[in-house]
Structure 1
Amino acid sequence: MFELKPMLSALWRNKVSALLIALQLALTLAIVSNASVIVKDRMEQVARPTGMDVGNIIAATYMPIPTEYDMAGAVVADLDLLRSTAGVVDASATNQIPLSGSGSAGTYFTEPNQEIGGENANYYQVDSHFINTLGLNLIEGRSFTPADEHVIGPNDQYHSNMAVVSKQFAEKLYPGESAIGKFFYSGANDNPVEIIGVVEQHLGAWPAWSRAGNVVFYPLLVTGNHKRYMIRAEPGQRDEVFKKVEDLLNKRDPQRVVHVETLSENLERTYISDNIMIKVLSLVMALLTFIVALGIIGLTIFWINQRTKQIGIRRALGATRANISRYFLVENALIAGTGLGLGTAGALIINQLMVSEFSQPALTLPLLTVCAIVLLLVSIAAALMPAMRAANISPAMATRSV
């Protein structure tokens, strides 16, 4: 510790440059730590299980050309055809395609005629094959049977008396107890809907929605001007089945326009903004860290060039190469420690603002600590090479400048 006093004296004489590096480190820590929170949150969101066999599912949407069209009959014929196709596990009709960003939602209550409170959920109108088609995991109760299904027109008023719900939604309505056999109500009406089954997970139409995972399924086919099918292929057969679906549907009934896509494409489109944000913020963090490292390298080299004579004298008086390297590393650590201390306070202040104004996730102490340690290690590593260069200065080279 005998070096500390001259070290502090040297830092005081060069306080402007030392302060600039410390402030650069502080700003970098504040930005990097808060960016890391956002990246971590987005990565966790992208990595969430959907509850569906996404990689093997194909979605088909068609619109009939004739104004008078037997939608109900077409659905039966189409699904029979699709289910009998080689490589297909199952097929189901639905009103909306999951993970597509397009869907319907409602507000649900545990008591009739309620209008305040309630829980929002994404809802689907499906047939009895939907669980097997989507690869959902039924954890309680039962699925729909063909006898449960109803066919109605687009302008008909009908309220289903049963539903299968996601586990998340069931726990919101009936926390701490089984929801099987219990009822919920849609909007301000007194038509009870019995929960007959619970699936483990289903993200619904909008994974970025704050209520993503709240999902209700009704056994209902609503005829109209278009219809959607979900087709689940056997593992490894999706692309082959994909090539067949449009041709099969058009061949069975050419009087309609068919569009086919994979659920993987929907998932990729859903998370495109999150993935872009992850890449951009990761690049920003890497660039800021690199710039800080360059600043530390430049400052350390500048100070070594200024102190060549002093280093030579210390070497002549018996200082080892390790003593010289340690001097500059400790000096750099003091600057880094000061900057990271200021950056910690700045990071917490910025995060509080982001949480309150932009609903961003809170910065945790472990994550802030990890970011600070990484920047400290980067600063030490950046100073290491110039410090080793200083250690190689010989007494003879220093005395030539006397």
Structure 2
Amino acid sequence: MLEIKPILSALWRNKIAALLIALQLALTLAIVSNASVIISDRKEKTARPTGIAVEDIITVNFQPVSQNYDMQTAVAADLDLIRTIPGVVEATHSNHFPLSGSGSASAYYNQPSQETGGEVANYYQVGAEFIQAMGMKLIAGRNFDPSDIQVADLTENRESSVVIVTKQFAEKLFPEGDALGKYIYGDRSSHPIEIIGIVERNLGGWVNWSKAGNAVFFPEMLIAEGNLFMRYLVRTEPGQRDSVFNQLEEKLSQRDPHRVIEMDTIENFLHKSYSRDNTMIKVLSVVIGLLTFIIALGIVGLTTFWINQRRKQIGVRRALGATRAAIGRYFLLENGMIASAGIALGMAAAQIANRMMVESYGQPQLPLPTMLSCALILLIVSLTAALVPALRAANISPATATRNV
């Protein structure tokens, strides 16, 4: 404790340099702690279960050249053909692809003819095999039967009588529970649609949507006259996706060459959907690393500079009996005091910056444990950075210091 007074005196004489290091530490802590919470939030987001067999699903999108095209017959023939390919588990049609960044959404209600108080969900018009083709888990109720499927044109005003929904959507629309067997209604519609099944989860088409996970599935095939197109989802056995992918386009083209076929995978859709989040994680991780390195470099430089300025003083102290441990402890304590002041200032700055980010950009709040962890890490980095110069100072001999005067 007797060293604190001379340390404060020395810091006052070099107050500008000490202040700059403290401010640099404060700014680093404010940035690092907020960047850390953003990284944690993005990692948690990208690690969410999708509810489907992402790595095993192939998507097929085709549009026929002919205007007079029997879509219903073509779909039946295509799906029968696809199921004969070795490695295929199941195939189905769908109006949209999950995780693709595109889709359709609508509001649904638990009472007829409502306009407010409902829940918005991503909706799909699918075949009876959709759940198996997606690898989703049915946790309540039953799957679709082929007899549930309705084939309709855009000009027809048909509504399904049954629907399968995600657990998340069911819990939001029926917070009291037991949604199975209850009815949902479209916007201002009095037509009841019975919930016959509930699946564990499906993020739907938009992973960045605030209501991602709200999804409903109707047993329908929509045929739009004059704008013909169809989409298939093909699930393969684990490890067989690429093999099936190579055969699929060729076999579909051979069966009907008069159409344009595009193929992709759900895994690619997922990577594209999360590309911004993954980029942000990488950029912020690099920023954290660079800032930590820069602050460590600054502390090493400043401590080395001060030691070179005080070689005579160190030599005198060593001649008067100061141990190497005492010399090293002096500089570590000096650096610790600067770091502590900067970190205290940085914690306040971090909270202020986080509050602004929460209010302006909807970023997650900065938890106290995260901020304290970042503060502790920076303190350890600061002391570690000062350790090497401090050890060099401890090794200065009285004779060397005297000759350098």
Aligned positions of 1:59-98 closer than 5 A: 59-98=59-98
> For 1:47 and 1:109, how far apart are their aligned partners in 2?
31
Secondary structure of 1:72 counterpart: helix
Alpha-carbon shift at residue 248 of structure 1 (Å): 1.1
Q: Which amino acid aligns with 2:356?
A: L
Q: Which amino acid aligns with 2:345?
A: L
Alpha-carbon shift at residue 337 of structure 1 (Å): 0.5
Alpha-carbon shift at residue 117 of structure 1 (Å): 2.7
Aligned match of 1:285: 288
Aligned match of 2:162: 162
Alpha-carbon shift at residue 155 of structure 1 (Å): 2.0
Q: Which amino acid aligns with 1:336?
A: A
Could you list the runs of 5+ residues in structure 2 that have no partner in the other structure?
none
Secondary structure of 1:372 counterpart: helix
> For 1:12 and 1:184, how far apart are their aligned partners in 2?
72
1:364 corresponds, among 367, 382, 386, to 367
Per-residue CA shift, 1:57-114, capped at 9, x if unaligned?
0000000000010011111111111112111000010000111001000011111111
Alpha-carbon shift at residue 28 of structure 1 (Å): 0.5
> For 1:171 and 1:122, how far apart are their aligned partners in 2?
15
Aligned match of 1:5: 5
Q: Is 2:262 the partner of 1:259?
A: yes
> For 1:375 and 1:156, how far apart are their aligned partners in 2?
65
> For 1:400 and 1:324, how far apart are their aligned partners in 2?
19
Aligned match of 2:32: 32
Aligned match of 1:99: 99
Off by >2 Å, runs of 4+ in structure 1: none
> For 1:306 and 1:280, how far apart are their aligned partners in 2?
39
Q: Is 2:332 the partner of 1:329?
A: yes
Q: Which amino acid aligns with 2:244?
A: V
> For 1:330 and 1:183, how far apart are their aligned partners in 2?
70
Aligned positions of 1:69-148 closer than 5 A: 69-148=69-148
Q: Which amino acid aligns with 2:43?
A: M
> For 2:117 and 2:307, how far apart are their aligned partners in 1?
68
Q: Is 2:352 the partner of 1:349?
A: yes
Secondary structure of 1:314 counterpart: helix
Secondary structure of 2:185 counterpart: strand
Q: How many residues align?
A: 402
Aligned positions of 1:7-26 closer than 5 A: 7-26=7-26
Secondary structure of 1:125 counterpart: strand
Could you list the runs of 5+ residues in structure 1 that have no partner in the other structure?
none
Alpha-carbon shift at residue 176 of structure 1 (Å): 4.0
1:240 corresponds, among 240, 243, 260, to 243
Q: Which amino acid aligns with 2:343?
A: L
> For 1:191 and 1:15, how far apart are their aligned partners in 2?
76
Q: Which amino acid aligns with 1:111?
A: Q
Q: Is 2:298 the partner of 1:275?
A: no
> For 1:313 and 1:293, how far apart are their aligned partners in 2?
29
> For 1:376 and 1:156, how far apart are their aligned partners in 2?
69
> For 1:367 and 1:194, how far apart are their aligned partners in 2?
46
Q: Is 2:229 the partner of 1:226?
A: yes
> For 2:197 and 2:329, how far apart are their aligned partners in 1?
68
> For 2:335 and 2:117, how far apart are their aligned partners in 1?
57
Per-residue CA shift, 1:27-46, capped at 9, x if unaligned?
00001111111111111111
Q: Which amino acid aligns with 2:123?
A: Y
Per-residue CA shift, 1:323-363, capped at 9, x if unaligned?
11111111111100000000000000010000011101110
Q: Which amino acid aligns with 1:133?
A: A
Aligned match of 2:183: 183
Higher mean alpha-carbon deviation, 182-191 vs 25-34, is at 182-191
Q: Which amino acid aligns with 1:284?
A: V
> For 2:114 and 2:34, how far apart are their aligned partners in 1?
41
Q: Which amino acid aligns with 1:42?
A: R
> For 1:363 and 1:188, how far apart are their aligned partners in 2?
42
> For 1:397 and 1:111, how far apart are their aligned partners in 2?
90
Aligned match of 2:343: 340
Higher mean alpha-carbon deviation, 96-105 vs 311-320, is at 311-320
Alpha-carbon shift at residue 195 of structure 1 (Å): 0.7
Per-residue CA shift, 1:271-297, capped at 9, x if unaligned?
111111111111111111111111101
> For 2:349 and 2:256, how far apart are their aligned partners in 1?
65
> For 2:248 and 2:328, how far apart are their aligned partners in 1?
70
- Counting aligned pairs with the same residue, the percent is 58
Secondary structure of 1:186 counterpart: coil
Aligned match of 2:211: 211
> For 1:322 and 1:129, how far apart are their aligned partners in 2?
74
RMSD: 0.8
Q: Is 2:317 the partner of 1:314?
A: yes
TM-score of the pair, normalised by structure 1? 0.99
> For 1:117 and 1:290, how far apart are their aligned partners in 2?
52
Secondary structure of 1:159 counterpart: coil
> For 1:151 and 1:116, how far apart are their aligned partners in 2?
30
> For 1:175 and 1:329, how far apart are their aligned partners in 2?
58
Alpha-carbon shift at residue 213 of structure 1 (Å): 0.3
